[in-house]
Amino acid sequence: MVKRFFPEILLFFAALLLLGGMLNGHAIWTQEYRWQQIVLHMLSSKDYWHPYLDGRPYYDKPLMTYWFIVALAKLNYGVLTKTLLRLPSVFAGLITLACTYFLGKNFGDRKVALLATWFLLTTFYFVFFARTASADMWNVASVLLCLVWFFYAGLSVKRVFWRDLIFFLLLAFSALLKGLIGPVLVFLVLIPTLWRNQLWQRFFNFKSIAALMVAIGFYLLPFFISSATSTNYQENGLVEVFRENVLRFFEPFDHEGPWWTYFAYLPAYCAPWILLSLVFLMKRRKPSSENKNFLYGEGSFCWAVLSIFIFLSLSGSRRSYYILPAVPFVMLWFAQLWQQKFMGSVKANYVLAWFVGLFYLILCVNFLIIQPWYYLHHG
């Protein structure tokens, strides 16, 4: 058993070391300050429904990611450390890797799954955000979780109430992590699947609508409790949802990046593997008929990248890390292309294995040795 699944076991422990090692090795980053201070206020006041930042109401994000950290601090007798602050993002990173593996195996094979997951694990910005206290890695993980359940549970062909219910609950869970952006991205990626043979119509039945209503209630519950238990809290969670998710898209009040933001940052967030695209361009080959599903059909990674990129670019509010949910799909895309063109080449795969190992080693040295040393002596 161990020998059979050795590549997966090796990948798991490699991810555990890189994402979870030396989490206390550097100072609090800028955005981590918000999560730290909000959680500290929750722990000291025992008020878990009304987030405060520096003594002021601050409900710009849902409560779920704060609660993850609070729960870990409670297990540590109410003491919040930098490790506990960042640990939920590590869990989200591991979930993201597992979901990437599943999608790669579901729409390719085991080799594609392993290769895409290694690509993602050796991508700098994925590792950075998986070791950073914020809602961003949870947003990526929740989007992929929804997609994995959709395809695993056979929602594209079967009508079963509890399967629909879990899918809608996962969408609600995603919305409670960073906002409505999660469910929106899920449906953008699923457009080819839902459109094929009018599959979207299968959700228009009593059981599916009932499941949707339950999920909406699950999503609204924290906001209703927050509002009902407030006496002088000056922000309303649902108002902030509209402000952060709808108003920001059409009439941004901050984070107004230029129109070319993601043209610059998607390649940066996919480094160093964006260099593989140069190899693919130099060795063009028309996809075989059995691989057209990957490019144009159900579960298309190419479509996922394109739809996320266009949607975020159309938004008036743009910031570099908003493009993070597209990164796993880029890695899946690269892995599929590599399999089509080079899986038969022993030499090419040998060279690729060395590069994967090299990039992994570089990231380990950076995050586990250089950063802790620097902040120990200069922080």
Q: Is the pLDDT of residue 282 over 80?
A: no
Q: Is the pLDDT of residue 156 over 70?
A: no
- Proportion of the chain above pLDDT 90, given as a percent: 63
| Mean pLDDT to the nearest integer, 44-52 | 95
Three state DSSP letters for the chain = CCCCCHHHHHHHHHHHHHHHCCCCCCCCCCCHHHHHHHHHHHHHHCCCCCCEECCEECCCCCCHHHHHHHHHHHHCCCCCCHHHHHHHHHHHHHHHHHHHHHHHHHCCCHHHHHHHHHHHHCCHHHHHHHCCCCCHHHHHHHHHHHHHHHHHCCCCCCCCHHHHHHHHHHHHHHHCCCCCHHHHHHHHHHHHHHHHHHHHHHHCCHHHHHHHHHHHHHHHHHHHHHHHCCCCCCCCHHHHHHHHHHHHHHCCCCCECCCCHHHHHHHHHCCCHHHHHHHHHHCCCCCCHHHHHHHHCCCCHHHHHHHHHHHHHHCCCECHHHHHHHHHHHHHHHHHHHHHHHCCCHHHHHHHHHHHHHHHHHHHHHHHHHHHHHHHHHC
Name the more confident of 109 and 257.
Answer: 109
Question: Confidence band (pLDDT; 50, 70, 90) for 334?
Answer: very high
Look at the pTM and tell me if it is higher than 0.75.
yes
Q: Is the pLDDT of residue 254 over 70?
A: no
| Mean pLDDT to the nearest integer, 307-332 | 94
Phi-psi region of 52 (alpha: psi -120 to 50; beta: other; left: phi over 0): beta
Predicted local confidence at residue 159, as pLDDT = 64
Predicted local confidence at residue 173, as pLDDT = 97
Predicted local confidence at residue 152, as pLDDT = 84
Predicted local confidence at residue 297, as pLDDT = 46
Name the more confident of 204 and 333.
Answer: 333
| Mean pLDDT to the nearest integer, 171-195 | 93
| Mean pLDDT to the nearest integer, 318-342 | 92
Predicted local confidence at residue 278, as pLDDT = 76
Q: Is the pLDDT of residue 140 over 90?
A: yes
Q: Is the pLDDT of residue 289 over 60?
A: no
Predicted local confidence at residue 293, as pLDDT = 46
Partners of 52 in beta bridges: 57
* Cα separation, 272 vs 58, whole angstroms: 36
Question: Confidence band (pLDDT; 50, 70, 90) for 91?
Answer: very high
Supply the mean pLDDT for the chain: 89
Question: Confidence band (pLDDT; 50, 70, 90) for 379?
Answer: low
Q: Is the pLDDT of residue 199 over 90?
A: no
Give the residue among 193, 199, 204, 206 at the shortest CA–CA distance from 303.
Answer: 193
Q: Is the pLDDT of residue 44 over 90?
A: yes
Predicted local confidence at residue 290, as pLDDT = 45
- Proportion of the chain above pLDDT 70, given as a percent: 91
Name the more confident of 97 and 255.
Answer: 97
Q: Is the pLDDT of residue 292 over 60?
A: no
Predicted local confidence at residue 259, as pLDDT = 85
| Mean pLDDT to the nearest integer, 53-68 | 94
Residues 241, 180 contacting (CB under 8 angstroms):
yes
